[in-house]
Amino acid sequence: MAYANSREFYSRIHKIEKRKKRLARGYALEVKKNGIVEARPVRQGIRFPYRMLFVILAMVMAFKAFVYADIGPAAYNEHVAALADGSMAEKAGAWAMTADTFTVWMAAQLNLYVL
């Protein structure tokens, strides 16, 4: 019998903690008919992870600049041209890895201060 009661107790604790987490994401106060104020969780839609997208984009740009600075512009452009002649995925990679002005500038800064 004690086991059944402890199971009920821990399931109630779990429900309370779950509600607390939902309330932490946002809530609206509602006054019931009997005058009690109750906090109800506000549903939020799915959010796009802009921070993660920005971090990935910054990492790709840093990788491009490091490779451009390491192997030089001529060899880098040869590798990108070889990618452009490949399959559809390789063409997409060649488009992404094409040296733009920011990549060239970052590579110059890397050569000046790091490499």
Cα separation, 74 vs 97, whole angstroms: 14
Burial of 41 (0-12, 13-18, 19+ CB in 10 A): middle
- Confidence at residue 2, expressed as pLDDT on a 0 to 100 scale: 58
Mean pLDDT of the chain: 90
- Confidence at residue 3, expressed as pLDDT on a 0 to 100 scale: 63
Query: What's the half-sphere exposure (Cβ side, CA atoms, 13 Å) at 98?
Result: 9
Tell me the whole-structure pTM to 2 decimals.
0.60
When pLDDT is averaged across residues 97-111 and rounded to a whole number, the result is 93
The residue ranges of DSSP E strands in the chain, in sequence order, are 27-31, 37-41
- Confidence at residue 48, expressed as pLDDT on a 0 to 100 scale: 86
- Confidence at residue 113, expressed as pLDDT on a 0 to 100 scale: 87
